[in-house]
């Protein structure tokens, strides 16, 4: 028994995430019953599993195709606008294969198509960090600052991109430059939007590598089967998980080396200020520690007991506030020690002074 979305993925119907969407839309049935609950299990060898009324079966063999997609084709199996799709370029393929990842209408280059759902899921998930390498011809010539911004990550569509590897390809045309960019995400039109964000829009974009797979001799519009060695290397690349640094709305400075992490941590402890998470009302950890000691002194140390009941709680809160204020005064230079509780002898002396 296996999860239904995994069975659909293995059958080459769609990726696991897309299969879950099919289930939620009520398009999947098992033995005549519509299944909408994710995680439902089935037996592919004996259960009647259908998508849109069409019975599925697991492929007898997996196909791994490498296509050099030309411009003007949509990376999908079918297009509601009736534009040409990459499937139209695959003559003689009877298996239900589908493209792995995106390559937009105006871009060209290498594209994988397969009916191996498990491999497709690993290749498209960013946790496995399989790099896609692009060569982008851009308007203008980016300077070192622009390249550094791309490498660290830029904000597109309200989210920060992960770290990228960026190099300038030798040889320039007038007013243009060619960059080689390696990314490990698959967001919509990501490379184009990254370059637009630094003021150098893309004039021409080509994908030249998918993980270890490259082929500069494959002509646009042509495809070939991957060799066994290429499939093995692709599976090996997709089997390694790595942690990527996605900054979201914050700063994305890429991986931090151990020595840098130590310096940053030391600096954070040294520079605690009004906006630090460890401060309270604009004062740091030292104030709280001193306030806690003052509270202990007033309550008779760790073993001292405050009054019980509601009156005791009020007294305790008052002492805590007083102790915190003492800490603030000490940091501001207005006090040298916590206020001490007045004794009966002290009160008598104060009354005698008033009478005089």
Residues known to be catalytic? 104
Contact between residue 44 and residue 204 where contact means Cβ atoms under 8 Å apart: no
Contact between residue 90 and residue 221 where contact means Cβ atoms under 8 Å apart: no
Number of H helices, E strands in the chain: 10, 17
As a whole number of Å, the end-to-end CA separation of the chain is: 96
CA nearest neighbour of 288 among 300, 302, 272: 272
Question: C-alpha angle with apex 100: 159 to 84, nearest 5 degrees?
Answer: 100
Phi-psi region of 119 (alpha: psi -120 to 50; beta: other; left: phi over 0): alpha
Rg of the chain's alpha carbons, rounded to an integer?
Answer: 33
Do β-strands 176-183 and 165-168 pair in parallel, antiparallel, or remain unpaired? antiparallel
CA nearest neighbour of 110 among 231, 229, 215: 215
């Amino acid at each position: 028994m296996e999860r239904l979305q995994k069975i659909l993925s293995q059958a080459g119907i769609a990726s696991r995430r897309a299969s879950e969407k099919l289930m939620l839309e009520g398009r999947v049935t098992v033995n005549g019953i519509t299944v909408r609950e994710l995680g439902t299990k089935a037996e592919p060898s004996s259960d009647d599993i259908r998508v849109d009324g069409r019975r599925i079966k697991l492929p007898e063999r997996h196909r791994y195709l490498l296509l050099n997609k030309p411009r003007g084709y949509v990376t999908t199996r079918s297009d509601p606008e009736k534009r040409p799709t990459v499937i139209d370029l695959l003559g003689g393929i009877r298996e239900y294969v589908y493209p792995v990842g995106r390559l937009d209408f105006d871009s060209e280059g290498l594209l994988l198509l397969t009916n191996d759902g498990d491999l497709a899921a690993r290749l498209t998930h960013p946790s496995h960090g399989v790099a896609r390498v692009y060569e982008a011809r851009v308007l203008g010539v980016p300077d070192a600052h622009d390249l550094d911004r791309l490498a660290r990550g830029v904000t597109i569509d309200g989210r920060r991109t992960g770290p990228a590897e960026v190099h300038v390809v030798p040889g320039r045309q007038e007013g243009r430059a060619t960059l080689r960019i390696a990314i490990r995400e698959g967001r919509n039109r990501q490379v184009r939007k990254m370059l637009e964000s630094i003021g150098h829009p893309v004039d021409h974009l080509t994908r030249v590598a998918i993980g270890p797979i490259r082929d500069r001799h494959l002509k646009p519009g042509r495809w070939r089967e991957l060799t066994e060695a290429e499939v093995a290397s692709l599976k090996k690349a997709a089997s390694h998980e790595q942690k990527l640094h996605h900054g979201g709305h914050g700063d994305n400075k890429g991986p931090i080396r151990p020595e840098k992490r130590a310096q940053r941590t030391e600096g954070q402890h040294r520079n605690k200020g009004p906006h630090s998470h460890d401060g309270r009302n604009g004062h740091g950890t030292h104030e709280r520690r001193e306030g806690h000691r003052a509270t202990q002194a007033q309550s008779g140390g760790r073993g001292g007991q405050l009054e019980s009941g509601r009156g005791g709680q009020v007294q305790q809160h008052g002492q805590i506030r007083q102790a915190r204020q003492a800490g603030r005064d000490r940091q501001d230079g207005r006090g040298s020690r916590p206020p001490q509780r007045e004794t009966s002898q002290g009160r008598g002396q104060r009354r005698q002074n008033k009478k005089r």
